[in-house]
Amino acid sequence: MLHYGFMANAFAAAAIVSVLAGLTGYFLVLRGQTFAGHALSHVGFSGATGAVLFGVAPLWGLLLMTLAGGVAMGLLGERLAHRDVAIGIVLSLSLGLGMLFLHFFTAYASQATALLFGNVLGVTAQTVWTLLALALLSLAALALIGRPLLFASVQPELAEAKGVNLRRLGVAFLAIVALATAACVQIVGVLLVFALMVGPAATAQQLTARIGRGLLLAAGLALAEAWGGLVLAFYTDWPASFWITALSGAAYLLASLTRLRWRAVKPLRPPV
């Protein structure tokens, strides 16, 4: 399987992106910001197709728009809460614009599917290197802010009193999420980013109450699901994106069921 060049590229890209997505997603889930990953990928779609229009690789347009969106969301912060309708309109407008841009380039009709649902088997060696650079940058930034981010995510008022700048931290984190989102789109596409970024992290938080283990588990699950999806796609000829979302969903479901069983066996005191 691996002596096909495209499969080797796909495995490398999937590994890089899934580890990044799993780790970033852990914080995203902890902060209750999972919607941000979803929103940023939609905003990125118009950027990606716009880039195609200008003859630039879609990844750069995608990056530009997700970063702009992430920083804007971070700066607006609380003011975005309870603005579901406004956010929804911006997101659908972005998808619509993306389709309009694609419309001008009929030759790129397959680009639409690739961007919306991912085309991991079409990843080039050059893209793998770009993804690696992106992931290293994001993970370095995440490593730098990891501790205060964790503190601020769980206990914002206390962290603020201890001298953590919540706003700056929030913006920095959403910028990292933006990079991770753009990377995820290369594997599973705009519409399925949730599967790689949120699924494994949420599963990990179901399975362990420890932060260190949770982070490792989120990255490990994301990697297993992404690679598992590739292997299944190779042998069934069904799309890799389908398999990855299926594995992600199945893992979450299983983890929830296991938790429910534990609860049934060991009754918990009601959290007053």
Partner 1 sequence: MPVTLSGVTLTQGGRTILQDAGFAIHDCEFVGVLGPNGAGKTTLMRAILGLLRPQRGSIAVFGRPAERGNPAIGYMPQVRSAPAGLRLRGWDVVAGAASGYRFGLPGISAADRREVAWALDIVDASALAARPLGELSGGERQRLLLAQALLGRPQLLLLDEPLASLDPRHQHGVVALVRELQQRLKLAVLFSAHDLNPVLGALDRVLYLGGGQAALGTVDEVVTGPVLSRLYGAAIDVARVDGRIFVMAGAHTVGCAHEHG
Is residue 137 a contact point for partner 1 (CB under 8 A)?
no
Q: Which is nearer to partner 1, 160 or 232 (CB)?
A: 160
Q: What is the DSSP string of 85-118?
A: HHHHHHHHHHHHHHHHHHHT-GGGHHHHHHHHH-
Cβ closer to partner 1: 2 or 209?
209
* Dist. CA 228–CA 226, nearest whole Å: 5
Name the amino acid, one letter, at 191: L
Judged by CB under 8 A, the residue of 25, 148, 189, 199 near partner 1 is 148
Q: How far is CA 214 from CA 85, 118, 209, in A?
A: 33, 27, 7
Comparison of 103 and 213: residue with beta carbon closer to partner 1:
213
Whose CA is closest to 196, among 218, 217, 174? 218
Near partner 1 by CB under 8 A: residue from 9, 11, 15, 31:
31
Query: Using CA atoms, how far apart are residues 5 and 121, in angstroms rounded to an integer?
Result: 10
Interface residue with partner 1 among 105, 151, 227, 234 (CB under 8 A) is 151
Q: Given the complex with partner 1, which of 3 and 269 has the nearer CB atom?
A: 269
**Does position 158 bind partner 1 by CB under 8 A?**
yes
Is residue 146 involved in binding partner 1 (CB under 8 A)? yes
Closest by Cα among 160, 173, 153, 175 to 71 = 175
18 binds partner 1 (CB under 8 A): no
Cα 188 to Cα 173: distance, rounded to the nearest angstrom: 22
Map residues 179-218 to x or -, x wherever contact with partner 1 holds by CB under 8 A: --------------------------xx--xxxx--x---
The footprint of partner 1 on this chain (CB under 8 A) covers a number of residues equal to 34
Q: Are 27 and 147 in contact (CB under 8 A)?
A: no
**Residue among 83, 103, 162, 261 that touches partner 1 (CB under 8 A):** 162
Q: Which is nearer to partner 1, 108 or 151 (CB)?
A: 151
97 binds partner 1 (CB under 8 A): no
Nearest to 173 by CA among 31, 15, 35: 31
What does the binding site for partner 1 look like in residue numbers (CB under 8 A)? Answer: 30-32, 143-148, 150-151, 153-155, 157-164, 205-206, 209-212, 215, 268-272
